[in-house]
Structure 1
């Protein structure tokens, strides 16, 4: 389930990946929404679509790796590393991350990203 979600994202199949999400959803990426529009809370599929539109419209993926997925019942943590380039500034940023997930009835109901949002802000502001 979780592996399918990441496989679909990696293949650029955003709509199919969104089908793996419950609605409503507890989606959270920390950071200033005034500075970085795709940060913050989302609860609907349309809001998640907007997350991906904003993120992919403003930055280019240089690396995204899942190193390990740890599962405990309906809860999971995906550990990995990413690197992106902000298109407007040309600056790259990288961070290790822990992604907290919950799966209920075959759908992802919780998606909380824990990353270095300060590094993102620095790259975004130029």
Structure 2
């Protein structure tokens, strides 16, 4: 299982870097257990429309599409430092470096992405980041 998990995680990272939200979404199961480390949806600032609950492949594609629309892709310096795999579970650790299109403000945030891969598809996508840093940049 670890080899399959590692391969799907590598494929996911490559598709995210390529910037094709539809191809990214193809790797996700329906429904997907999706979590971003933010306050409850009612408390989310309206300036971060990419942060909201997700359940379907269409939702996943929308997330990556909206994220790209609100950031300057040429200034993305996000890096992955570690990928840890144990059976069907994986943790990706790195640093998000983005610039918000509307404000021109750059931000950096460490992140941890917890994934579960079953049957070649991502069934869990939980990302933990410094939401205060992101909110201050929008």
TM-score by length of 2: 0.84
- Residues 1:14 and 1:54: Cα distance change in structure 2 (over 3 Å): closer
Aligned with 1:24: secondary structure? Answer: strand
- Residues 1:107 and 1:20: Cα distance change in structure 2 (over 3 Å): same
Q: Counting strand residues as a fraction of each chain, which structure ranks higher? A: 1
Partner of 2:68: 56
1:112 aligns with 2:106: no
Offset of residue 90 of structure 1 = 0.6
- Pairing partner for 1:19 from 14, 17, 26: 26
Counterpart CA distance in 2 for 1:65 and 1:33 is 26
Partner of 2:4: none
Runs of 4+ in 1 over 3 A off after TM superposition: none
- Residues 1:22 and 1:33: Cα distance change in structure 2 (over 3 Å): farther
Q: Report how many aligned residue pairs link the two structures.
A: 124
Partner of 2:15: 8
Partner of 1:46: 58
Contact 2:21 2:65 in 1 (8 A): no
Unmatched 5+ stretches in structure 1 = none
TM-score by length of 1: 0.91
Offset of residue 33 of structure 1 = 5.4
Counterpart CA distance in 2 for 1:10 and 1:34 is 26
- Pairing partner for 1:74 from 80, 88, 94: 88
Contact 1:42 1:48 in 2 (8 A): yes
- Pairing partner for 2:79 from 55, 65, 74: 65
Unmatched 5+ stretches in structure 2 = 1-7, 39-43
Higher relative contact order, chain-length normalized (CA < 8 Å, sep 6+): 2
Partner of 1:29: 36
